[in-house]
Amino acid sequence: MVKKGRIVAFFLIVALLAGLVVSTVMDVAKEIKLGLDLQGGFEVLYEVHPAHEGDVIDDDVLKSTVTALNQRINVIGVSEPNVSIEGDSRIRVQLAGVEDQQTARELLSTEAQLSFRDVNDNLMLDGADLRQGGASVTFSEANQPWVGVTLNSASQFAEVTRQVLNSQLVIWMDYEEGDSFMEERLKPESEQKFISAPSVDQVLNTTNVVIRGTFTLEEAQFLADVLNAGSLPVKLEEVYSNSVGAALGEKAMEMTIYAGFIGVALIFLYMLIYYRFMGIIAVITLSFYIYLVLVIFNWMNAVLTLPGIAALILGVGMAVDANIITYERIKDELRTGKTTMSAFKAGSRRSLSTILDANITTILAAAVLFYFGTMAVQGFAVMLIVSILTSFITAVYGSRLLLGLWVNSRILNKKPRMFGVKESEINEL
């Protein structure tokens, strides 16, 4: 006697899952963060060098540099940047969606060591004497853009101006040992390394100082932004960079998604043709599997990249592999003459160890990729691990639950063709 209640339960479960997917999948897809290879942007790998002779690059210095770089990225206005330490002396910066990449690169790499020196290059004040966030663009009476900065101590500046009274106070950006004001002042103004050298004819007891120069408005704003972001404690050498245009990233995503749809559609078609009714179960569980992976990936706040999409599609292959192993076991059991229910139970039980072995070895390989890989490889590894763990839920337990409802309803008894097994194959054994 057919147990119709189990068939009704099957359709209820499928209807609930379909309703959940249809009502939320677009929101989930929109919230997923895209990497720079999908929305455009650039990444730079820096080699970190000591700013001064004798300085040591250790973990604390690298972390301080990452903090300073994040402050500068805030100036650019990039949301969700990725700044990470690689190895013992490298930092990788990934900025997605940046339009003016050249300005961003200059802002990141400049040391921004502001210093005030006398004409003999003796240090009088440096960036540590500036009030944090105190730099801004100001204008002269002739509407020339200048940069105003606020010092921590008026008395300190008064003492400095007293020492250079009737001389000049030279303002340098990124002064290096060997630089000389006396040599620089002989050069054309456009080639001078110092910013300005105002004459001091009175003691100035104030915290407000204006850096005068022949700035454009963009140059003045850039200088103010750099000073507000703070100086870097190290020197950065660019050893690798990669830039992806926004249009190119969008096109790459469209082509990858298109290829993914074709691949998944072919898998679905193969399962339906070769495994008949069990193929329908596989299509349902694989569809929910893809949705579940995207939800989990979104919950993890991870960034989806092209390698991540490749891992997602590879995960579909792993998930369907678990289905195939189970279904082939069930078909083998049917060919031995067992009943549908016995074949389902025996096939499910005997396939579990094989599926476990395959998934564990793949997870181990993905873990190694994550540990030793760079950002793109790590993204691939994370997506692959998430895909495998999710496939175990949907392809093993989900598929068994749905197929078990039909098998236990007894409507499939003595219908081996529904499982892709011909009666003649049973007789031959």
Q: Residue 83 belongs to what H/E stretch?
A: strand 82-86
CA angle 365, 368, 369 (to 5 degrees): 90
Q: Is 114 found in the same domain as 82?
A: yes
Indicate the residue type of 349: R
| The pLDDT value given to residue 221 | 80
Q: Are 168 and 197 in contact (CB under 8 A)?
A: yes
**Of 400, 373, 278, which Cα lies nearest the Cα of 334?**
278
**Co-location of 117 and 221 in the same domain:** yes
Residues 162 and 74 in one domain: yes
Bridge partners, 130 (sequence order)? 151
CB 365 within 8 A of CB 358: no
Query: pLDDT of the chain along its 429 residues, tens only?
Result: 667 788 899 999 999 999 999 998 888 888 877 777 777 777 888 888 887 677 788 888 888 788 778 777 776 666 667 788 888 888 888 887 776 777 777 777 776 677 888 888 888 887 777 776 677 888 888 888 888 888 888 888 888 888 888 888 888 877 777 888 888 888 887 777 787 787 777 788 888 878 777 778 877 787 777 666 666 667 788 888 777 766 666 777 788 788 888 888 898 899 898 888 899 999 999 899 889 888 887 888 777 777 878 888 788 887 888 888 888 989 888 888 888 888 888 888 888 888 888 889 988 998 998 888 766 677 788 888 888 888 888 888 888 899 999 888 888 888 888 888 887 877 654
Same domain, 251 and 167: no
Per-residue confidence (pLDDT) for residue 132, from 0 to 100: 67
97: containing domain? 41-242
Domain identity same for 397 and 298: yes
- Same-domain status, 310 and 219: no
Structure tokens at 413: 């008894």
Contact indicator for 61, 234 with CB cutoff of 8 Å: yes
Residue 426 lies in a domain: no
Same domain, 259 and 379: yes
Residue located via tokens 């337990």:
397
Q: Residue 322's CB: how many other CB atoms inside 10 A? A: 25
Helix (H/G/I), strand (E/B), else coil: 427: helix
- Pair (199, 228) in one structural domain: yes
Residue 26 belongs to some domain of the structure:
yes
Same domain, 233 and 334: no
Query: Residue 65 belongs to what H/E stretch?
Result: helix 59-76
Q: How big is the CA angle at 62 (ends 56 and 64), to the nearest 5 degrees?
A: 105
DSSP state of 214: -
pLDDT given at position 429: 47
Q: What is the DSSP string of 363-420?
A: HHHHHHHHHH--HHHHHHHHHHHHHHHHHIIIIIIIHHHHHHHHHHHTTTTT-GGGGT
In degrees to the nearest 10, what's the CA dihedral of 109, 110, 111, 116?
180
Q: Which of 189, 223, 242 is the last residue of a domain?
A: 242
Half-sphere exposure of 375 (CA within 13 A, CB side): 24
The three-class DSSP label of residue 75 is helix
Task: Specify the pLDDT at position 13.
Answer: 92
d(CA 108, CA 75): 10
21 and 53 part of one domain: no
Q: Look up the CATH number of the domain holding residue 275.
A: 1.20.1640.10
Examine the domain organization and report whether 47 and 189 are in the same domain.
yes
Report the number of distinct structural domains present in the chain: 2
Of the residues 242, 265, 292, the one at which a domain ends:
242
Residue pointed to by tokens 């100001």: 138
User: Has this prediction a pTM greater than 0.75?
Assistant: no
Q: What is the CATH number of the domain that holds 60?
A: 3.30.70.3400
**pLDDT of the residue at 10:** 92
Whether 120 contacts 187, CB under 8 Å? no
> Would 429 be classed as within a structural domain?
no
> DSSP character for 129?
G
